[in-house]
């Protein structure tokens, strides 16, 4: 961001300045452990930790000031509500940008699609995108001070943990294009049903301007709800059927090295080579190319740029240890992503035995029992040894859950060269620790 005086930020967020500092703010910190000179530390009050309690610590690290909801030590901006203040911050910087802003949400594939789309749009020039998982009401506003005169488009990932959250994120990000990857099960416990998830995701589409563009999954069973929310705005669709504007017609596995995906945008063919595994990535690719084409790029130009996309770790990540192939997909888990990972794993060339560590699926609400049971029944049709982890994983019907990461390690200690293992489960389980 352009270095800014604390007093000017106080005006932007409508806050009350205390103990003004002559130093400039050049960044933001949400974690006291990562705070440093030039930062404005955000005193976030969480369930377990209150950022206000770390005022002395971050001041000792050289922060310029603190944005807080109650008085703290040192230079600080006092606001009645941190979330609202950050919304004002984001909106102030967003209003200085005139290019396309693409908001992305969905139950699965948000981050992957964000990375694919940022790569697909790269022929336009500099693309600003949400980094990591900074997609919440506290972190999403911090993207906007990073806009520069060279920025050609902004790709914003939007998280949803309940009704109204995406509407809030959209209130300051003001997207001109809205992309919904799918409607799955994640956070069903917060909104009651998949219909509730669809309504929550639709907040992105309702927030688009009248001349905005919606990019939607035409084969999703909740497409009707999404299209209704888009109203009279231009709609482009992606999928695998003839009805889709951007459709996938073929996926060719390149073994453990990646995939080649073929498709059409309208009647224009495209082919993308990606160094990632998984048939479900094909829909993320289609969503990215569809969006890029809707913004005027040639479909093949966008497709060729996808090879430069960098997907974050633990999303169908291929590793190898002592000749054992490892497919690590431990960032999240839903019925669709679990099945997709298993299908991909079964399609890969393996000379030895296959083993899957399957963690439980969280946040499925009333559908949890059925979802676990159905996946377990599918697993029983495969020639695949399975270890399950987490209390809810008993619902798979594949045996008693392994009780600890240490026990999981011991049960895979006999794997040898030529064998392969899939590690898949909800983020809270931290299944990647099996590999330590």
Q: What is the pLDDT of residues 416-425, one digit of tens each?
A: 999 999 999 9
pLDDT above 60: residue 208: yes
Percent of the chain with pLDDT over 70: 98
Strands 16-18 and 76-78: antiparallel
Of the listed ranges 105-109, 267-271, 397-401, the least confidently predicted one is: 105-109
Return d(Cα 320, Cα 420) in angstroms, integer: 9
3-state secondary structure of 226: helix
Other C-beta atoms within 10 Å of 199: how many?
A: 19
Contacts for 370 with CB less than 8 Å, ≥ 6 apart: none
Q: With b meaning 16 or more CB within 10 Å and e meaning fewer, what string describes 112-138?
A: bbbbbbbbbbbebeebbbbeeebbbbb
Q: Which helix (H) or strand (E) holds 152?
A: strand 151-157
Region label for 427, one of left (φ > 0), alpha (ψ between -120 and 50) or beta (otherwise)? alpha
Q: What are phi and psi of 305, to 5 degrees?
A: -75, -15
Return d(Cα 324, Cα 422) in angstroms, integer: 11
| Angle, alpha carbons 362-135-363 (nearest 5°) | 10
> Which pLDDT tens digit goes with each residue over 343-354?
999 999 999 999
Contacts for 224 with CB less than 8 Å, ≥ 6 apart: none
- Measured in whole angstroms, the distance separating CA 254 from the mean position of its chain's CA atoms is 25
pLDDT at residue 241, as a whole number: 95
Domains in the chain, CATH or no CATH each: 4-80 (3.40.1390.10), 86-308 (3.40.1190.10), 317-435 (3.90.190.20)
Mean pLDDT over each residue of the chain, to the nearest integer: 94
Nearest Cα to 204, choosing from 237, 181, 236?
A: 181
Residue 158, token pair as written in the block: 């939007």
pLDDT above 70: residue 434: yes
Return d(Cα 14, Cα 62) in angstroms, integer: 24
pLDDT above 60: residue 117: yes
- Measured in whole angstroms, the distance separating CA 237 from the mean position of its chain's CA atoms is 20
Residue 82, token pair as written in the block: 């941190």
Q: What is the pTM of this model?
A: 0.89
């Amino acid at each position: 961001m352009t270095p800014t005086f604390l007093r000017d930020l106080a005006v932007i967020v409508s806050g009350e300045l205390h103990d003004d500092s002559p130093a400039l703010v050049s960044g933001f910190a949400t974690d006291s452990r990562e705070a440093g000179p030039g930062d404005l530390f955000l005193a976030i009050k969480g369930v377990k930790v209150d950022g206000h309690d770390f005022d002395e610590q971050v001041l000792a690290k050289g922060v310029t000031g603190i944005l807080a909801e109650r008085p703290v030590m040192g230079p600080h901006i006092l606001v009645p509500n941190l979330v609202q203040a950050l919304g004002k911050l984001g909106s102030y910087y967003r209003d200085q940008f005139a290019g396309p802003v693409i908001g992305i949400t969905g139950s699965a594939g948000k981050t992957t699609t964000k990375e694919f789309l940022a790569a697909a749009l790269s022929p336009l020039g500099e693309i600003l995108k949400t980094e990591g998982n900074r997609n919440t009401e506290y972190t999403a506003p911090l993207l906007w001070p990073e806009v520069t005169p060279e920025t050609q488009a902004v790709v914003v990932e939007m998280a949803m943990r309940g009704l109204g959250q995406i509407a809030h994120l959209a209130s300051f990000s003001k997207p001109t294009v809205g992309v919904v990857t799918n409607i799955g099960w994640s956070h069903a416990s917060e909104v009651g049903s998949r219909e509730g998830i669809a309504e929550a995701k639709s907040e992105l589409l309702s927030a688009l301007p009248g001349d905005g563009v919606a990019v939607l999954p035409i084969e999703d069973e909740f497409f009707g709800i999404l299209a209704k929310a888009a109203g009279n705005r231009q709609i482009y669709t992606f999928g695998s059927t003839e009805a889709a504007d951007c459709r996938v017609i073929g996926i060719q596995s390149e073994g453990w090295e990646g995939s080649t995906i073929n498709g059409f945008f309208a009647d224009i063919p495209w082919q993308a080579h990606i160094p990632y595994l998984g048939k479900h990535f094909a829909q993320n690719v289609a969503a990215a190319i569809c969006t890029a084409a809707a913004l005027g790029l040639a479909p093949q130009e966008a497709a060729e740029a996808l090879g430069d996309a960098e997907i974050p770790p633990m999303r169908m990540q291929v590793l190898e240890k002592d000749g054992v192939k490892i497919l690590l997909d431990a960032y999240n888990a839903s019925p669709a992503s679990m099945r997709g990972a298993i299908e991909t794993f079964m399609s890969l060339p393996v000379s030895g035995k296959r083993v899957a560590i399957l963690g439980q699926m969280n946040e499925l609400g009333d559908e949890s029992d059925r979802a676990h049971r159905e996946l377990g029944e599918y697993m029983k049709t495969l020639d695949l040894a399975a270890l399950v982890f987490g209390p809810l994983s008993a619902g798979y019907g594949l045996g008693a859950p392994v009780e600890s990461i240490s026990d999981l390690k011991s049960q895979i200690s006999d794997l040898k060269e030529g064998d392969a293992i899939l590690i898949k489960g909800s983020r809270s389980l931290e299944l990647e620790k099996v590999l330590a």
